[in-house]
């Protein structure tokens, strides 16, 4: 079942690759303090994710920060190397944390893990989640094949 507003972020691990290597993070610690906008995508370098979803958060970065967002994070069921390269190619460094979930642990804990068929396999479904001090305050789930409510522009209107 998908996480809902009012629920605490569940415990799960994910990775972030930096210039110093790959670090494993605990969701309880990462989301514990401040306001985070977490958006999940089916995959790095996939068409809608690369052409629309990630770019909206880069474009709206300053507006989101001005609206009180402390951290923006992109989650995908990909390895940390892929997420780092995707982030670098889109100039997300210092703006968006690229959360790698290679085994779908965090996606599953959030109720976002879905099987997207023989090409993509198990992936995170497209959505955006607003998290305040470890508690979910809003979940913006997309229907399959749609990109509307999880855009940065729509998230900004929900803050």
Nearest CA to 69 out of 138, 143, 142, 148 is that of: 138
* Backbone torsions φ then ψ of 93, nearest 5 degrees: -55, 130
CB-based burial, 41-53: b 16+ in 10 Å, e otherwise: bbbbebebbbeeb
Residue 155 CA to its chain's centroid (Å): 13
Q: Which of 12, 38, 49, 110 is catalytic?
A: 49
* 74 noted as active-site residue: no
**Encoding tokens for residue 27?**
């969701």
Annotated active-site positions, please? 49
């Amino acid at each position: 079942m998908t996480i809902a507003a009012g629920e605490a972020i569940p415990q799960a691990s994910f990775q972030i690759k930096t210039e110093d290597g790959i670090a494993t993070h605990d969701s309880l610690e990462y989301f514990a303090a401040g306001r985070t906008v977490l958006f999940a995508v089916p995959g790095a370098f996939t068409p809608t994710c690369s052409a629309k979803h990630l770019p909206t958060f880069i474009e709206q970065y300053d507006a989101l920060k001005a609206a009180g967002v402390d951290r923006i994070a992109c989650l995908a069921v990909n390895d940390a190397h892929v997420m780092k390269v995707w982030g670098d190619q889109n100039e997300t460094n210092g703006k968006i944390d690229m959360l790698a979930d290679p085994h779908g642990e965090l996606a599953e804990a959030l109720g976002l893990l879905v099987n997207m068929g023989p090409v993509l396999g198990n992936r995170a479904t497209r959505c955006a989640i607003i998290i305040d001090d470890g508690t979910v305050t809003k979940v913006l789930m997309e229907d399959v094949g749609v990109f509307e409510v999880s855009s940065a522009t729509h998230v900004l209107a929900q803050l």
